Structures are given as C-alpha cells and as structure tokens.
C-alpha cells in the first residue's frame, strides 16, 4: 500500500479548508486540523488522518457538533465537571486538559471531567499538551463496547485508553495505550494492508485466539492486554470516568454500533507549584538510566514510552508526513464537493 509525503503545513491547511466547509469557525478549524496533523507528524498513523473521513461522516450524521463547546456543570476548588455538548472530541479534550493545566498552576493539582463528548482521536496529544506546559498529565476515556471481559463471549467492555505524561528536559515520558492488546486503529491498518497481527490480538466467534484483524474487527472481540488484568483495568477506568463526570458508561455510548457521548477525565500536577521540580528531574533520570542500562536479549533494545516521538517528529517535519495514498485521495475529494 503506497504512501504519499505531505508537509505538515499542507496537511493542516487541507484539513482546515475541509473543516470550514463542514461548519467549523476558523480558529476551531485550525486547532482541530492541527491536532489531526500532529498525530501523523509524531508517527501515530492509526489515530490521525486515516480517521478524518470517519470524523466527517460523524459530523454529517449529527453525532459531532462542529460549533459546540463545553459548558461547565460544577466547580469545587481544583475539580471541575464539564458537559462536552457532543462537540468535536479532540477540541473538547484539548480544552479540558488546558483547564486541568490552569487549575494545577493555581492549586498544584487540577482535575477536569467531560461528559457527552466524542472520540478524542489520539489521546497522546493531550499527554504531550501537559508535558509541554511543564506538568505531569493523566487522562483516560471510555469507548463503546469492543472487548469481552475475561471469560466472556461478547463485547461488553471498552478498550478505554489511558495516557500518562511526565515532563523532562531531554525527552518527556508519555505513555498512550488502550486496554486491548492492539488498538482498533492499529488493527484497522493491518486489515487494510491485508496483514496478520504479529501476535494474537483477539477472538473469533468460537472463542479462539486469532491474528486475523478482520475477524477481530467484525466481532469486536479484542484481546484485553494482560488478559484478565486488562479487563479489570478497563472496568475500573469506565467506572471512574462515568462516576466523576456524571456521564455515560461504556454500555451507554454504543448507539447501534456508532460511538458518541463519551466520558473522560483529565488530571494535572504542576511540579513547580508542588515544589517537586528538582526532585522530579533527578528521580526520572535515575529511573530511566536504570531502565536503559538493563540487560537485553540479542538483537533487542530497551526504550521508554514516547522516546522516539521527538526523533520521528523532526524527521517528518523535514521529509514530509507519510499518508496512505488512498486516504489522501479521499480527503482531497472533499475539496471538490
């Protein structure tokens, strides 16, 4: 499957022009387009522009409201609850993390929850948003049911992504992972290429593990990462987001197979306000040095979450961002409509 190389500026400009046609105000179109483009810029091709056509489809169906922004529901000190009003998920998430950052600068800790929001696309964007502001950031979301509980035979849990970001001068540490062994966006890329997964990633209809992404996608039976542990963590994240936000839980966001009305939580710690800065840098470096100097099997290497992102970002800024040719053609067609 062929790729085309697109500059970051061209990618943002193209997506922005399309979003304007779909009812976005100028500044919101730029920010939304930038968040999509940043995802592919950082090499996370499973949650970037490949999902843009589906995003537009959800706008046309009325699930995503381009002009809607969050409205506050309650505020108590460092804790705020907001209604996302079914606005664009990445814009709502960016707003919520910005609020959590602001609260942490005031109180040392900030927690913001969102009810009735939409898919945030790449959750890692908001971990990087926190570390770029010098904060420790944590955020998590629920999804529609796309994973069985351990021992179950139907999709009942969400793969509920979790993001943790820790700032660092040399290279921040940013973990971005779903509770399934493979994210659905990643499995979709394997399916489009006609490739099997490198490891078993889910179940077939007989309950047997399979590497076939098409079978897993059809059945929505992704394998929980860590087996029963991933299933348990998924449940706890769903409980936390729905309780703290007052929003929908996983079983309530599945609308005849479509996913909207999600619940999310964003937490920030400001190391400066909490007087942790010097200690954090020292401790983080010590832990990562120990990790990087650990013994490895022949031909293997150890790396920490987010280690390669800055390198990939720099390369793609210089050489262009790889985008699947058929995806780019589908996007460009929107300019002709």
Q: What is the CATH number of the domain that holds 200?
A: 3.30.60.50
Q: Which residues make Cβ contacts (< 8 Å) with residue 312, sequence separation at least 6?
A: 41, 42, 43
47 is catalytic: yes
150 and 258 part of one domain: yes
Give the closest residue to 173 by CA, choosing from 43, 284, 56, 329. 284
> What is the residue whose two structure tokens read 């602001």?
102
3 and 46 part of one domain: yes
Residue 39: what pLDDT?
98
pLDDT of the chain, 337 residues: tens digit per residue: 689 999 999 999 999 999 999 999 999 999 999 999 999 999 999 899 999 999 999 999 999 999 999 999 999 999 999 999 999 999 999 999 999 999 999 999 999 999 999 999 999 999 999 999 999 999 999 999 999 999 899 999 999 999 999 999 989 999 999 999 988 888 988 998 889 999 999 999 888 999 999 999 998 899 999 999 999 999 999 999 999 999 999 999 988 789 999 999 999 999 999 999 999 999 999 999 999 999 999 999 999 999 999 999 999 999 999 999 999 999 999 998 7
The two tokens of residue 172 are: 């921040």
Number of domains in the chain: 3
Residue 257: what pLDDT?
81
Residue 315 covered by a domain = no
Residue 27: what pLDDT?
98
Residue 316 covered by a domain = no
> What is the residue range of 335's domain?
1-61+323-337
Which CATH number do you get for residue 13?
Answer: 1.10.1530.10
118 and 199 part of one domain: no
Instruction: Count CA within 13 A, CB hemisphere, residue 225.
Output: 15
The two tokens of residue 103 are: 């609260």
Give the closest residue to 8 by CA, choosing from 265, 237, 315, 225. 315
Residue 254: what pLDDT?
82
300 and 234 part of one domain: yes
Residue 262: what pLDDT?
98
Residue 1: what pLDDT?
66
The pTM (predicted TM-score) of the whole model is 0.94
14 and 159 part of one domain: no
Which CATH number do you get for residue 117?
Answer: 3.30.1370.60
- The sign one gets for the Cα dihedral 55, 60, 62, 67 is positive
DSSP string, 124-147: HHHHHHHHHTT-EEEEEE--SS-B
Residue 140: what pLDDT?
98
Residue 189: what pLDDT?
83
19 and 34 part of one domain: yes
101 and 170 part of one domain: yes
């Amino acid at each position: 499957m062929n790729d085309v190389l697109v500059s970051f500026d061209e990618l943002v400009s193209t997506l922005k022009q399309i979003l304007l046609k779909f009812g976005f105000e100028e500044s919101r179109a730029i920010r939304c387009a930038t968040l999509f483009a940043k995802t592919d810029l950082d090499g996370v091709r499973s949650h970037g522009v490949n999902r843009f056509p589906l995003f537009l489809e959800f706008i046309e169906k009325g699930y995503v409201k381009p002009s809607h922004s969050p409205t506050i529901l309650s505020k108590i000190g460092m804790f705020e609850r907001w209604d996302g009003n079914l606005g664009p998920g990445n814009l709502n998430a960016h707003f919520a993390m910005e609020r959590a950052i602001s609260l942490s600068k005031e109180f040392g800790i900030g927690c913001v929850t969102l009810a009735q929001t939409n898919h945030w696309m790449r959750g890692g964007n908001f971990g990087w948003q926190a570390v770029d502001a010098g904060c420790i950031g944590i955020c998590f979301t629920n999804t529609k049911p796309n994973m069985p509980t351990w021992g179950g035979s139907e999709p009942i849990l969400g793969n509920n992504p979790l993001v943790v970001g820790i700032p660092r001068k040399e290279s921040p540490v940013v973990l971005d992972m779903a509770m399934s062994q493979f994210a659905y966006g990643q499995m979709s890329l394997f399916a489009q290429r006609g490739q099997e997964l490198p490891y078993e990633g889910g179940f077939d209809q007989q309950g047997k593990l399979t590497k076939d992404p098409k079978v897993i996608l059809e059945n929505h039976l992704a394998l929980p990462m860590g087996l029963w542990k991933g299933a348990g963590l998924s449940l706890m994240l769903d409980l936390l987001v729905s309780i703290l936000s007052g929003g929908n839980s996983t079983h309530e966001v599945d609308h005849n197979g479509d996913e909207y009305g999600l619940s999310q939580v964003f937490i920030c710690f400001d190391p400066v306000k909490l007087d942790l800065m010097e200690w954090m840098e020292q401790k983080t470096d010590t832990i990562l040095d120990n990790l990087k100097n650990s013994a490895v099997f022949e031909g293997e290497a150890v790396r920490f979450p987010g280690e390669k992102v800055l390198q990939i970002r720099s390369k793609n800024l210089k050489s262009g961002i790889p985008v699947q040719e058929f995806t780019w053609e589908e996007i460009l067609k929107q300019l002709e409509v």
